Structure 1
């Protein structure tokens, strides 16, 4: 007897038009982000006497912000014990270096090209996965919703989100189609991209159990008889490889975790503690938007107070509310592995919060939790007015935060 992961779902007759719509949503969203970034860069530096390279300053400079510098420096120089580079896992900077060596150009250009290529691949696989689990119409809406999410501009930046999303979606799709060696290899590569890649172990194990028609009444000792189970060990192997490198190079296998604690003040905590702190910060943000700027940190550049209130105080908590709603729908309307993965992916940053900033970067972490967007697509696909209201609002916010990120100054802080 075949389980639900093996039974092809019927697709509507207009699946080709749904695919075209998804392609347009992905392309238009990236083009809009690029154009807005160029305009923001031009306006930010329009009073400069001269640019050394106008093309570079318009296309590349806007994206040289925050964590992007860490990735490029790792790609260029490798890891050093005296700085915080070891907090960033190695696969993405390795691929930046490989792209630079193979095709030339600067490391920044290589990173931007790599992120864009990974984003395109991720959207293609996400459309296919969502279509197999639901319908091609819902799959197209999924691509639209994730492409215009307020922090989706990071898919165009020198950040690892595009690569991580590509690998996690690929792992689910391959596991669903019983291609276990490749699925677990994708999980291993995701583990080498971000620490949250380890979370793939749980949903892939559940997919395996469903395909084996395992129940609680069946002895667990029967599992090792299937060689596919051994492939799952590839996922934690990615972590062990990086830990082994850190131990051999710096004498500390857990250096990446220690750097997170020292540099970014991330310490273990109960998830609800960060949720409560995030709610308090959102309350301050609302009052700041209403005009009480005394609640904001001092030393901000004039004109950036509202940006900071929205980006650092309001957006993370809004992302938490969004994720909580979608998570309920995931458990109700998608197979269990998707719900388990989404839940773990949301709990991880809440369990390792920054002591300085509540819900730190939570709005960026949400954008790669793809089951949330499949669930939202199922909810909104037949409610066109609500769907387009949400999509347009989200799109406008994405462009707004693109400006905040790509233009220098205090306004860029807190956006990701």
Structure 2
């Protein structure tokens, strides 16, 4: 739909997906490193502006560029698309494990139909982060603790919201370890290797996030350099006050933009779906992940128009809808999903061709 609406005089689908907004920073980091200046950009944020972008994605771009003779922007897009497919597979695996196969399929379909699903096809970090998060949660559900810890480390090197994966893995591993130790007296044969694995998962899961936090602080010359950098980007944490005020303004004052309305409705829907997930007693790992991700996305001040994109990796929130559609009559399910595809495609075209800022 984007390609059709762009027309022959437009920038082209490849340019829209592989070169816009945040992609410029990731590609520049991959090609020239973090210290190299970006002409015409970062005038407000200062010389450390690129350190707001986490290193895993540009590192992958740089690594693939060394062996594949293609422009870095195209490679960035290819990595994102491959990550989207891995994310879809991971979402299916998690949903099938906690529900059933049909729910897993519909959960993946819904993830591809959320308002900002266009980002899943762009050279952004959301696809990569969602893939890592999904498989980390699956590793927790299947008690593959070392894998979960390693993936949490990678998540912490991908986005600030990597803290959500770290929290889910570390808390669940800690609870399982405590439970294991309590049972030791009743079951003397509890394998020591299992306890060691759980402890290792707890210790390694936050290493990626803390390593980047420490490195940015070192480069800035102060321990809170990371937070200072985020402030220069206009991103601070106020517990959700900014978000609540913006939502109130959107529904009480005019004029408003389509993107701001969709962002507000997405935030509201996220809280409703999280409440339903609590009522349905979703697995603790999924609830912790979704809760921390929502706290980071909604609790941050600034970039209200991107709140829906920040919530894109919160796929466990889609499980109540997927479960309902899985048990609905096929005619109802197909009608709802077809309508969602059309609406999402139209809105994705709006984000790419009308909206002038990062989605």
Among 52, 59, 63, the alignment partner of 1:94 is 59
CA 394–69 in structure 1, closer or farther in 2 if over 3 Å, else same: farther
Q: Could you say which residue in structure 1 is the equivalent of 2:299?
A: 351
Match of 1:400 in 2: 346
Cα contact 2:263–2:306 (8 A) shared by 1: yes
Give the aligned partner of residue 39 of structure 2.
none
1:266 equivalent to 2:235? Answer yes
Q: Which residue of 2 aligns with 1:412?
A: 355
Counterpart CA distance in 2 for 1:200 and 1:327 is: 17
Asked if 1 retains the 8 angstrom alpha-carbon contact of 2:92 and 2:108, the reply is: yes
Cα deviation for residue 44 of structure 1 reads 4.7
Return 238-247 or 63-72, whichever deviates more: 238-247
Give 1:43 shift. 4.6
Alpha-carbon shift at residue 391 of structure 1 (Å): 2.7
TM-score, normalising length from structure 2? 0.85
Q: 1:254 to 1:42 in 2, by over 3 A?
A: farther
Contact kept in structure 2, 1:198 and 1:235, CA below 8 Å = no
Distance apart, 1:276 and its partner CA: 3.4
The 1:213–1:239 alpha-carbon spacing in structure 2 relative to 1, beyond 3 Å, is: closer
| Alignment RMSD (CA, Å) | 2.8
Q: Give the number of aligned pairs.
A: 339
Q: What is the alpha-carbon distance in structure 1 between the residues aligned to residue 265 and residue 149 of structure 2?
A: 33
Task: Tell me, in whole angstroms, the C-alpha distance in 1 between the residues paired with 2:265 and 2:9.
Answer: 28
- Greater displacement, 370-379 / 190-199: 370-379
| Deviations 1:245-279 (CA, angstroms, capped at 9, x unpaired) | 3344443454343222122x222213255223213
Aligned-residue offset at 1:83: 5.3
Instruction: Kindly state the Cα deviation for residue 331 of structure 1 after the two structures are TM-superposed.
Output: 1.5
Matches within 5 A, 1:51-90: 58-63=12-17, 64-80=19-35, 82=47, 84-90=49-55
2:84 matched residue in structure 1: 119
User: Separation in 1 of the partners of 2:358 and 2:113?
Assistant: 15
Structure 1 length normalisation: TM-score? 0.74
- Partners of 2:5 and 2:96 lie apart in 1 by 37
Report the CA distance shift for 1:91/1:314 in structure 2 as closer, same or farther (over 3 A).
Answer: same
Conserved in 2, the CA contact under 8 Å of 1:330 and 1:372?
Answer: yes
1:108 aligns with 2:108: no
- C-alpha change, 1:246 and 1:272, in structure 2 (3 Å) is closer
Is residue 205 from structure 1 mapped to residue 170 from structure 2 by the alignment?
Answer: yes
**Does the Cα contact within 8 Å between 2:55 and 2:157 map onto a contact in 1?**
yes
On the 8 A contact 2:107/2:318 being kept in 1, the answer is yes
Counterpart of 2:116 (choices 129, 133, 151) is 151
TM-superposed CA distance for 1:343, in Å, is: 1.4
Q: How big is the shift at 1:404?
A: 2.8
Residue pairs, 1:13-412, within 5 angstroms = 36-45=1-10, 58-63=12-17, 64-80=19-35, 82=47, 84-208=49-173, 211-212=176-177, 214=179, 226-227=195-196, 228-252=198-222, 254-263=224-233, 265-284=234-253, 295=255, 309-311=257-259, 313-333=260-280, 334-354=282-302, 359-384=304-329, 387-407=333-353, 411-412=354-355
Q: For residue 388 of structure 1, report the CA deviation from its aligned partner.
A: 3.9
**Equivalent-residue separation in structure 1 for 2:225 and 2:339 (angstroms):** 41
Any gaps of 5 or more consecutive residues in structure 1?
1-35, 46-56, 288-294, 297-308
What secondary structure sits across from 1:279 in the alignment? helix
SS at match of 1:281: helix
State the shift of 1:77 in Å.
1.4
Deviation at 1:213, TM superposition (A): 7.2
Q: Which consecutive residues of structure 2, in runs of 5 or more, have no partner in the other structure?
A: 36-45, 185-191
